[in-house]
Amino acid sequence: MRILPRTVSATVYTGFLVLLAIAPWIFSVIDEPFYLDLLSRGLILAVAALSLNLILGYGGMVSLGHAAYIGIGAYCVGIPAYYDFYNGWLHLGLTVLVSGLFALVTGAICLRTKGVYFIMITLAFSQMVYFTFVSLEEYGGDDGLVIYLRSEFPTWLSMDSPVALYYWIFTVLLITLFFIHRLVHARFGRVIVGSRFNEDRMQSLGYSTYRYRLSCYVISGVICGIAGMLLGNFTSFISPEMMGWTRSGELIFMVVMGGAGTLFGPLVGTAAFVFLEEFLSRITIYWHLIFGLMLIALVLFGKGGIHGWLSAFDSEEERG
C-alpha cells in the first residue's frame, strides 16, 4: 500500500477527507458552530448519494425513488421514539431490517424492468410510501414527528453532542466509502458493472445477473436507510417531505454533479450541492435560476462532473 496518493484527484480527495476529519476543530477555532451543522447534514446526504451511486453509477439503475429509504430510516428512529423506545441498536436494527425488506420486495419487481421504465417504477413505489406516511395521522401525517432524544448508544458511541454526532456520521461515511470500494473491486462489482454494459454477456458467462443486481439494490437501500436514520437523529424531526420525489431527484444531481460511477464523486457532488444551496440562497431569492443554469451547463459542457474535471489534471497513464 502506498502512503502518498499518486494522482491529482486522489491528492485532492485525501486532503478533503483529512479536512473533514479535523473540521470540528477548525470550526471551534473560528467559532462558527453552524458550519458543523451544515457539514453534518452534507455528509449524511453524501452517504445517501454514495448508496445511490452504487446502483446508479456502477449498476446503471437510475432510481427516482431513493429518498424513500431516507424516509424509512428516519421513521425507524421516529416511530420507536414516539413510543419512548430510544435504544440505538433497536433503531439501527430496525432500519436495516425494514429498508432491506422494502428494497428486496420492490427491487424484485422493479428489476424486471430497464431504463426509463425502471426510473418510473421506482418513482411509483416511493410515491406509495410517501402517501402512506402522509396518511399516518398517528405519527403526525405530513406535519411530521418531533424526536425528543437521539438514539441511545453506549457512552463511547453517544450521538448527543454535535461533535459526537458529526464523528458518528463521518465514521459511517468512511465505512461506506471503504465498503463500496471493496465491493466494486470484488467479483460482485465486476458483475454489476459488466451487466450494466452487456447483460447478455454476463449471463452467458454463467452469472445470474438478476440476483446480483437485486443484491446490489438491497445493499444500496440499506445504506440509504442508515443515512435516513442519521438524518432523523440530526434534524430531531422527520416528515414525509423527506421522501418526496424532488428529494430523490436532488440525490441524483449530487451523484452526477460529482461524477457517477466514481468512488468519491458523490461525496464532492453532495458537498458542492449543500454549499451552493446554503450560500446561493443568501445572495438572492432567485438563486434557483443560477442553480438551474449551472445544471444545464454541467450536462452540456462538463462531462464527468467534478471528478471529471479533477482527473483531467491526472497524467494520462494514471487515469482510470
Partner 1 sequence: MDWNLLITQVLNGLQLGLLLFLLASGLTLIFGIMDFINLSHGSFYMIGAYFCGTVVSMSGSLLSGIVVGLICTFAIGAAVEWFIARRLYRSDHLDHVLVTFGLILVFDTLVHMVWGAAGMAIPLPEVLNGQVSLGTLVLPTYRLVIIMSGLLVAAILYIMVSKTRLGMLIRAGASNRTMVEALGVNINKLFLIVFAIGATMSGFAGMLIAPITEASIGMGNEIIIIAFVVVIVGGIGSIKGAFYAALIIGLMDTLGRSYLDDVLELSMPTKYAETAAPALSAMLVYILMAVVLAFRPQGLFPPAGSK
Partner 2 sequence: MKIIPKLVGSALLATAMAGAGMAQADSVKIGFVTTLTTPAGVIGADIQDAVNLALEHIDNKMGSLDVELIMEDDGFKPDIGKQKTDKLVKQDDVDFVVGYIWSHVLLASMKSALDAGKFLISANAGPSKIAGELCHENFFSTSWQNDQTPMAMGEYLSQQGVKSLYIMAPNYAAGKDMVAGVEKTFKGNVVGKDFTKWGADAQLDFSAELAKAKASGAEGIFIFYPGKAGGAFIKQYQQAGLQGVMPLYTVFTVDAIALPKLQAGGLEGVLGSKMTQFWSPDLDIAANKKFVDGFLAKYDRYPSFYAAQAYDSIMLIKSAVEAVDGNLGDMDGLRAAMKAADYDSVRGKYTYGNNHMPIQNFYLREVVKDDQGRWTTKIVSTVLENHQDPYAAECAL
Among partner 2, partner 1, none, partner that 235 touches (CB below 5 to 8 angstroms by kind): partner 2
CB of 113 to partner 1, least distance (A): 5
**239, 144 contact by CB (below 8 A):** yes
CB of 148 to partner 2, least distance (A): 8
**49, 228 contact by CB (below 8 A):** no
- Residues 223 to 262: which contact partner 2 by CB under 8 A? 231, 235-237, 239, 241-242, 244, 246
Distance CA 48, CA 43 (A): 9
CB of 254 to partner 2, least distance (A): 15
- Residues 31 to 50: which contact partner 2 by CB under 8 A? 31-35, 37-38, 41
- Considering only residues 30, 155, 197, 283, which one is a binding residue for partner 2 as defined by CB under 8 A? 30
CB of 289 to partner 2, least distance (A): 11
Q: Which of 126, 209 has the CB closer to partner 2?
A: 126
- Considering only residues 23, 36, 55, 62, which one is a binding residue for partner 1 as defined by CB under 8 A? 62
Distance CA 240, CA 228 (A): 12
**76, 229 contact by CB (below 8 A):** yes
Q: What is the DSSP-derived secondary structure letter of residue 237?
A: E
- Residues 264 to 303: which contact partner 2 by CB under 8 A? 278, 281, 285, 288
User: What is the residue-wise DSSP string for 126-183?
Assistant: HHHHHHHHHH-GGGTGGG-EE--SPPB--GGG---SHHHHHHHHHHHHHHHHHHHHHH
Among partner 1, partner 2, none, partner that 28 touches (CB below 5 to 8 angstroms by kind): none
Whole-number CA gyration radius for the chain: 19
Site size toward partner 2, by CB under 8 A: 32
- Element containing residue 266 per DSSP (H, E): helix 265-283
Among partner 2, partner 1, none, partner that 146 touches (CB below 5 to 8 angstroms by kind): partner 2
- Residues 206 to 265: which contact partner 1 by CB under 8 A? 245, 249, 252-253, 256, 260
Work out whether 288 is an interface residue with partner 1 (CB under 8 A).
yes
Work out whether 198 is an interface residue with partner 1 (CB under 8 A).
no
- Which three-class secondary structure state does DSSP give residue 319? coil
Distance CA 222, CA 47 (A): 11
Distance CA 316, CA 7 (A): 10
- Considering only residues 29, 138, 317, 320, which one is a binding residue for partner 2 as defined by CB under 8 A? 29
Q: How far is CA 135 from CA 56, 67, 101, 143, 302, in A?
A: 30, 18, 21, 11, 42
Work out whether 134 is an interface residue with partner 2 (CB under 8 A).
yes
Distance CA 146, CA 263 (A): 34
Q: How far is CA 312 from CA 13, 87, 167, 239, 304, in A?
A: 14, 47, 32, 41, 10
Q: Which of 33, 115 has the CB closer to partner 2?
A: 33
Work out whether 137 is an interface residue with partner 2 (CB under 8 A).
yes
Q: Note the residues at the interface with partner 1 (CB under 8 A).
A: 56, 62, 64, 109, 112-113, 115-117, 119-121, 123-125, 127-128, 131-132, 134-135, 137, 245, 249, 252-253, 256, 260, 286, 288-289, 291-296, 298-300
Q: Note the residues at the interface with partner 2 (CB under 8 A).
A: 29-35, 37-38, 41, 134-135, 137, 140-144, 146, 231, 235-237, 239, 241-242, 244, 246, 278, 281, 285, 288
